[in-house]
Structure 1
Amino acid sequence: MQIGILQTGESPDALRADMGDYPDFFETLLAGRGLTFRRWAVLRNDFPKDVHECDGWLITGSRFGAYEPHDWIPPLEDFIRRAYAEHVPVVGVCFGHQIIAQAMGGKVEKYAGGWSVGPTEYDFGDQTYTLNAWHQDQVVKKPEMAKVLSSTAFCENAALLYDDRMFTVQPHPEFRKEFMAGLIKYRGPGLVPDALLADATQRLDKPTDSPSMADRIAEFFLTHQAKSGAEKLRA
């Protein structure tokens, strides 16, 4: 199954040469799970020609806000709505989670409660995942059709499901400990309160459940593909 990665942000310059960029992180996270990948840098207005150019789509994180007036955000929202209408599966992570919610009628804003940084527990009912968080923006009002899969005291809409078409999460399963340490060092100062950075640094050795979330993401894509294939056979 071919997944198109829609890149909406870049890793810090100081980290990219050694650790890679956001699409690299997702290809590593999802490796060995029956998926292949193509990339489009939508933050530079590089868009697929059609929502069916790949079997599914994954929208990355970004330092930009979904509500900011960048010229590539409206066409990305249009692409999301077309994919939903055409039943092409989409996964969104952090900014991807937010821009999908915004495109589908929800509301995203810079959260008055501040930042969430570092390993954080997310209860999905059937499983609790510890995943790295790095965000202040969040979905404060979910779209009407979205079901909340995970909610925390800090982030009410931490994971959303749009029937079998879109699955989105606020935390970063693709962020490894070393990259989080780099974010804290190079992107955090002056942006995130020092006390939060210090606390997150002390917790970075806590194991995360990124492989389990990778399994969940891959299962979402592959189950959708299998279902679509069965429906075509019946037709």
Structure 2
Amino acid sequence: MGGQKFAVLLCADDSDYVKKIYGGYYGVFVRMLKEEGEDWDVFRVAKGEFPDENEIDGYDGFVITGSCNDAHGNDNWICKLLILLKKLDAMKKKVLGICFGHQILGRSIGGKIGRASAGWDIGITKVHLNPSNIFTYLKMPTSLSVIECHRDEVWELPPEAEVLAWSNKTGIEMFQCGDHILGIQGHPEYTKDILLHLIDRLFCRNLIEESLAKDAKHKVEASEPDREAWTKLCTSFLKGRL
């Protein structure tokens, strides 16, 4: 479906490694999602850069990235992002939220979010898919492995939202609201090397203990994420093929 236009709402600072290898997190998402004939833009919302009101209608869909910030916080840019998401919801624009993006989407539609009761989930996690038409249509298996790196989660969703997946650590790994909002707690866009560098960054900043860092690296080396299936799911949703 060439000719469509999408925007990445970038909620994180690019690490030097991701900037050098992938052209930043925007480049990571474009590499996974962009198809021939499409236009992709980036708005660095964490730095206060938002699309103008008259620009929004020109986009077919939006992707919200992960972030080091808490989606349950009230930083000025987060509050501004919530206003934008409510507007996109009202316009029925396609919105795909990843990790922080998943959580802030849940908050924007009236859900409850906060610190995960089970603590950090870092590594490659098996996510169990609840019965849903979208998985039947895409011929998905009953579970998929995905790269995870989060300590917050969506606690609760409003009745109009459907929980699509869960894991042993997280009750809401994926949700859908209408046919235009999709949240995924994991990182389908990440490669294993991105996660390994991120683990080192978290450890150097004293955000995780050495034992957790070592355990997470072991998990990463021991298994593989189902990147092809996740890419198919994300592109099919975002581009209206479901």
Same fold (TM over 0.5): yes
Cα distance in 2 for partners of 1:213, 1:34 equals 22
CA shift at 1:112, angstroms? 3.0
CA shift at 1:15, angstroms? 4.6
Asked whether 1:223 is paired with 2:240, we answer: yes
Q: Deviation string for 1:124-159 (max 9, x for gaps)?
A: 244222110000011111233210000112111110
State the SS of the aligned residue for 1:203.
helix
Q: Structure 2: which 5+ runs fail to align?
A: 131-139
Cα distance in 1 for partners of 2:224, 2:22 equals 19
Q: Give the residue type in structure 2 aligned to 1:78.
A: I
CA shift at 1:35, angstroms? 4.3
CA spacing shift, 1:35–1:119, aligned 2, 3 Å: farther
State the SS of the aligned residue for 2:169.
coil
Cα distance in 2 for partners of 1:197, 1:144 equals 37
Cα distance in 1 for partners of 2:170, 2:183 equals 13
Q: Give the one of 160, 167, 175 matched to 2:190.
A: 175
Cα distance in 1 for partners of 2:59, 2:22 equals 26
Cα distance in 2 for partners of 1:210, 1:187 equals 23
What are the residue-to-residue correspondences of 1:1-235 with 2, within 5 Å? 1-13=4-16, 15-32=18-35, 35-50=38-53, 51-125=56-130, 126-127=140-141, 128-189=143-204, 190-205=206-221, 206-223=223-240
CA shift at 1:208, angstroms? 1.2
Shifted more, 131-140 versus 201-210: the winner is: 201-210
Q: Is contact 1:149–1:160 with CA below 8 Å preserved after alignment?
A: yes
Shifted more, 209-218 versus 96-105: the winner is: 209-218
CA shift at 1:16, angstroms? 2.9
Q: Give the residue type in structure 2 aligned to 1:219.
A: S
Q: Give the residue type in structure 2 aligned to 1:44.
A: K
Taking only the aligned residue pairs, the percentage that are identical comes to 25
Q: Is contact 1:22–1:61 with CA below 8 Å preserved after alignment?
A: no
Q: Give the residue type in structure 2 aligned to 1:49.
A: D
Q: Report the equivalent of 2:133.
A: none
Matched positions, count: 225
When normalised by structure 2's length, the TM-score is 0.86
Cα distance in 2 for partners of 1:110, 1:188 equals 19
Q: Is contact 1:3–1:56 with CA below 8 Å preserved after alignment?
A: yes
CA shift at 1:85, angstroms? 0.9
CA shift at 1:165, angstroms? 1.1
When normalised by structure 1's length, the TM-score is 0.89
CA spacing shift, 1:108–1:28, aligned 2, 3 Å: same
Q: Deviation string for 1:145-194 (max 9, x for gaps)?
A: 21000011211111000020101100001111111110111223421232
Q: Is contact 1:29–1:210 with CA below 8 Å preserved after alignment?
A: no
Cα distance in 2 for partners of 1:129, 1:58 equals 21
